[in-house]
Amino acid sequence: MTNYISLKHQLPEILLISSYPPRECGIATFSQDLRAALDKKFAQSFSVRVCALEAAEETHSYPPEVRYVLDTADPQSYQTVIDAVNKDNRIKIVLLQHEFGFFQTMPESEFLHFLNSIKKPLIVTFHTVLSKPNDALKNKVSNIVHACDSVVVMTKNSAEILEREYAVPAEKTWVIAHGIHLVPHLGKTILKKKYGLSGRKVLSTFGLISSGKSIETTLDALPGIVADHPAVVFLIIGKTHPSVVKHEGEQYRHMLEAKVAALSLENHVVFINAYLPLQELLEYLQMTDIYLFTSKDPHQAVSGTFSYAVSCACAIISTPIPHARELLRDDAGILIDFQNSVQLTAAVNLLLDDSALRKRMINNGLQRVIFAAWENTAIANAMLFKNLAPQDIVLRYGLPEIHLGHIKRMTTNFGMLQFSKTNHPDPDSGYTIDDNARAMVAVCMHNELFTGKKDLVYLQTYLNFIEHCLQPDGHFLNYADIDKKFTAQNKEVNLDDANGRTIWALGFLLSRQNALPKRMVQQAESILKQTFSHLETIHSPRAMAFAIKGLHYYLSATPSPDAQRLVEKLANRLVQMYRHEAESGWHWFESYLTYGNSILPEALLCAWLSTGNYGYRDIAHESFNFLLKHTFTEKGIKVVPNNGWMQKGQGRAQYGEQPIDVAYTILALQLFYEVFNEARYREKMETAFNWFLGQNHLDQIIYNPCTGGCYDGLEETQVNMNQGAESTVSYLMARLAIEKSFNNQEMNLYSVGIQPSVKKERRRELMLQ
């Protein structure tokens, strides 16, 4: 798999020209985060090296990724970098982070000479885009734009200003949001206790301190806030900006401290005078109830501090900079006028008094900002790189680590909960046998690759839940509430599919019986055998398909004439459906494609492996190829959406893709590749898995590597940021299938080259013993 193996050839390089840590400034932190995101997401596509910008009279000791240092006050330093970049054939693209203050010590003509002398594709990211420019500024920006191949800005508003007021061609500008860190949302109560703020309502602001932040606006608002909410504390997080210290000393901070004393706010204001490590900063933000952004600069295009606060589930009150107007629209926050303490007092009190409003704004903000996760920002930048250097940049998505954290959080001692609000399990949603059956399959897959006693605890939990749902006549109920009681929903919906999935899970577990405790195996086999009479009665195609899969896995480990007979009976019903519906141009079992389509041909392939009936194999092969034709495009996988499906002779719906359908496709592709040894199936496995990593119509991640959860769906304009059981378990099954097929090929269940007839003969031999 090209994504996940070590590349022998030397990777192309991207040179990032920017301020860079340990230099303390916002763009330095931004560039370090961007480089880290690109490296994590595309480490086998390209490498990112850095040319660090040094301010006058400053020197730093840089990390290994910094290859060059550019002294922005030294003309010879510019020429040295030009020569090095142009001579280095590894460098394919130069990405320059632009802020006017970086290059103010150099004549404009010298800086333009630097840009024009770079003989590699050049991208300039503007961190400041000023509206209503004078002629001099307009000319300066126009010259920079003319010297580069592409321009990046971080908001739509900035792009509109460039086009409208600077005459920058729209096709030259890419809008790539300021990245945000995905966080686990640990819970405010836990974090407040950790930092000694239990019982307090936390307001905060952060960043390198300067008078432009207008922190005094908040201090003037606090007496009116404290009067109504005595438990309020305001955290001012950050050191004074180094350039401010250099020219003014700590004058501004001392003024703020004096104001705190004058207003008798000592018990309600805390200065955290430090440049905090990232994880500590994110914890401060996660425990913040309301984040206050009071910049007095109406021309500030974007704020990283503001973005980080939204991603950490803070309610936001902000002055109306363009970034805030764009992000906080439609009830995602509150805007106040610049330097208006009266409005700020009223806004804070409103949110503290109305927890429902505060929660609604937080959720709206999270949904609005999730597209800007650093992982998505990395994808957008990588696509720009590929656009500029298509012959040199081949995008290969990095494979995330296998992460069971969210699976475990969703599992109680009774079973796996059904839904999650963002990444917080929702007990009110109760339990389903669907989710517990799938979870049992996924954890079996995990235990096969990473044997461990902890997996056995979860397997036993899921198996016990399945047994809890078993009814005397051999069928299963599906829905139970948090009190373990079966709900009325069991009488309102068809339960056949849930029953079929449960047979799949039981059979899958039993196929791994040599690695499992004897008592667990006996329990699962006892449950399975009690269902045989009920299986005779099911006619739902997907229920039959899941049952065939489960019985096939069971037969792979245990001879059973009853199971063999059921496989043939159910497979023959699928064959009959296929022959009834299939015609020229429509090789399918039904007159429509809906959900879980790949399970149907996969089941017939399983039936062939269990029986040796080549008729099953031929229909499996023909129908699966038909399905793939309607599932994959030149851009990647696009499963049949749940918003309208696809009817015979008609077009298909476009939006509403579910992780479970992508995962089922991957599992089917895995089996078809193992049996037929056709490379295209393996290649499609990789393509399909990349859907979770960002190769989809939104170019956004569906899997959350921070929580280990998977978003619940891909809609037309956004992802559903809830991370429920179905989507999370589906991702895990897909991830483990990739791990087994590409990183542990020797562990494949069906070794390439072993004929099904051999398996059949061996199984019959065992049955006679």
The pLDDT tens digits of the residues spanning 165-209 come to 999 999 999 999 999 999 988 889 999 999 999 999 999 999 989
Amino acid letter, residue 535: L
| Confidence (pLDDT) at 323 | 85
pTM for the full predicted model: 0.91
Read off the pLDDT band of 326 (50, 70, 90): confident
| Confidence (pLDDT) at 755 | 34
The 10s digit of each residue's pLDDT in 399-445 is 999 999 999 999 999 999 999 999 999 999 999 999 999 999 999 99
The 10s digit of each residue's pLDDT in 113-145 is 999 999 999 999 999 999 999 999 999 999 999
Q: CA–CA separation, 81 vs 68, rounded Å?
A: 7
| Confidence (pLDDT) at 2 | 42
For the cut 50, the answer to whether the pLDDT of residue 596 exceeds it is yes
Residue matched to tokens 């932040």: 213
**Nearest 5°: phi and psi at 590?**
-135, 175
Read off the pLDDT band of 335 (50, 70, 90): very high
Q: CA–CA separation, 445 vs 440, rounded Å?
A: 9
Q: CA–CA separation, 524 vs 516, rounded Å?
A: 11
For the cut 90, the answer to whether the pLDDT of residue 734 exceeds it is yes
| Confidence (pLDDT) at 652 | 83
For the cut 50, the answer to whether the pLDDT of residue 52 exceeds it is yes
Q: CA–CA separation, 200 vs 289, rounded Å?
A: 9
Share of the chain above pLDDT 70, in %: 95
The 10s digit of each residue's pLDDT in 552-563 is 999 999 999 999
| Confidence (pLDDT) at 187 | 85
Judged by DSSP in three states, 710 sits in strand
For the cut 60, the answer to whether the pLDDT of residue 745 exceeds it is no
| Confidence (pLDDT) at 322 | 85
For the cut 70, the answer to whether the pLDDT of residue 7 exceeds it is no
| Confidence (pLDDT) at 753 | 26
% helix, strand, coil for the chain, step of 5 = 50, 15, 35
| Confidence (pLDDT) at 744 | 58
Q: Residue 235 is inside which H or E element, if any?
A: strand 232-237
| Confidence (pLDDT) at 769 | 29
* Residues sharing a CB contact under 8 Å with residue 368, sequence separation 6 or more, in sequence order: 310, 327, 328, 332
| Confidence (pLDDT) at 303 | 79
**Of the candidate ranges 285-289, 519-523, 540-544, 748-752, the one whose mean pLDDT is the lowest:** 748-752
Q: CA–CA separation, 751 vs 153, rounded Å?
A: 51
Please indicate whether residue 56 or residue 241 has the higher confidence score (pLDDT): 241
| Confidence (pLDDT) at 751 | 28
Across the chain, mean pLDDT equals 92
For the cut 70, the answer to whether the pLDDT of residue 764 exceeds it is no
The closest of 523, 536, 526, 478 to 502, measured between CA atoms, is 478
Three-state secondary structure string covering 19-72:
CCCCCCCHHHHHHHHHHHHHHHHHCCCCEEEEEEEECCCCCCCCCCCEEEEEEC
Judged by DSSP in three states, 730 sits in helix
Alpha carbon separation from 389 to 30, 47, 50, 91, 588 (Å, rounded):
24, 14, 19, 11, 42
DSSP state string for 354-407 = -HHHHHHHHHHHHHHHGGGBHHHHHHHHHHHHHHH-TTT----PPPPPP--HHH
Share of the chain above pLDDT 90, in %: 84
For the cut 60, the answer to whether the pLDDT of residue 606 exceeds it is yes
For the cut 80, the answer to whether the pLDDT of residue 675 exceeds it is yes
* Residues sharing a CB contact under 8 Å with residue 729, sequence separation 6 or more, in sequence order: 407, 416, 435, 438, 439, 442
